[in-house]
């Protein structure tokens, strides 16, 4: 089983709202990732968690706040977003965080900021 | 960072073979991936190859690697309309302690009936 699940599938929020995206995997993977993908573009790495610790933050604005409560779960807390933050947010996981570890992606959350 | 290049569009007729090309820049040993993305969906891992291999075949998919030219191709035999999607080539950064993926811009494959 190589399934990564994400909820919700779609999210519409105003610029003053607070919302969270959720990602879950039960493959025993120890590395989890958040990517942002704009239309017609490749995914852009935002954050990497390795063994439940934040190991990469790609200079993401503080209105995006990741959280890894346990090795199976990854959240992305959203607050005071801008319309340009509208995108597909993808979660991925891999066995470990090394270069030989294949990343498996979830279906994504389509976020619209009004 | 690594530089991964792909052509943006490819159109083929149903039943024909599709060949999607990619070039990469990492000169050290690396893993190279092909992901498929259908409209509104996430990325589906299709296949991957390590840079010490020349070829990998998996059912209708054949990956060819030319290490000298740093050229990777994905051949889809007997292409079907369900194969219409964006195909991303990606390279892992072996120079990093973390598995940072570098994606090409994606090739939009359109299959005509």
Cβ pair B21, B71 in contact under 8 A: yes
Cβ pair A95, A31 in contact under 8 A: yes
* Chain B residues within an 8 Å CB radius of A90: 42-43
Give residue-wise pLDDT tens across range A1-26: 669 999 999 999 999 999 999 999 99
Cβ within 8 Å of B, A 27-86: 31, 40-43, 45, 48, 50, 55-56
Q: Where are the alpha helices (DSSP H) in A1-114?
A: none
- Do the chains contact at B93 and A99, CB–CB below 8 Å? yes
A89 DSSP β-pair partners: A36, A109
User: How high is the pLDDT of residue B16?
Assistant: 97
The highest-confidence range among A76-90, B18-32, B45-59, B82-96, by mean pLDDT, is: A76-90
Q: Lowest-confidence range among A10-14, A106-110, B28-32, B92-96?
A: B92-96
Q: Does A26 touch chain B (CB under 8 A)?
A: no
- Min Cα–Cα distance to chain B from A18, Å: 24
pLDDT of B75 strictly over 80? yes
Q: Does A100 touch chain B (CB under 8 A)?
A: yes
Q: Kindly report the CA angle at B72 between B69 and B15, in degrees rounded to 5? A: 135
Got the DSSP string for B53-72?
A: -SEEEETTEEEEEETTTTEE
User: How high is the pLDDT of residue B95?
Assistant: 64
């Amino acid at each position: 089983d190589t399934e990564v699940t994400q909820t919700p599938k779609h999210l519409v929020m105003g610029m003053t709202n607070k919302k969270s995206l959720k990602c879950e995997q039960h493959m025993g993977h120890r590395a989890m990732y958040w990517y942002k993908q704009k239309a017609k573009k490749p995914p852009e790495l935002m954050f990497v968690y390795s063994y439940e610790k934040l190991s990469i933050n790609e200079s993401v604005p503080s209105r995006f706040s990741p959280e890894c409560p346990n090795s199976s779960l990854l959240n992305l807390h959203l607050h005071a977003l801008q319309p340009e933050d509208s995108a597909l947010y993808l979660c991925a996981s891999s066995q470990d965080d090394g270069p030989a570890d294949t990343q498996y992606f979830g279906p994504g959350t389509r976020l619209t900021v009004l | 960072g690594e530089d991964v290049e792909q052509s943006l569009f490819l159109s083929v007729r149903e039943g024909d073979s599709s060949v999607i090309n990619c070039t990469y820049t990492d000169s050290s040993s690396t893993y190279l991936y092909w992901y498929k993305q259908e409209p509104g969906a996430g990325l589906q891992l299709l296949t991957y190859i390590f840079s010490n291999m020349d070829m990998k075949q998996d059912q209708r998919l054949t990956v060819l690697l030319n290490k000298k030219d740093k050229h990777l191709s994905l051949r889809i035999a007997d292409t079907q309309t369900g194969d219409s999607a964006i195909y991303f080539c990606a390279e892992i950064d072996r120079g990093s302690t973390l598995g940072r993926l570098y994606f090409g811009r994606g090739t939009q494959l359109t299959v005509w009936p």
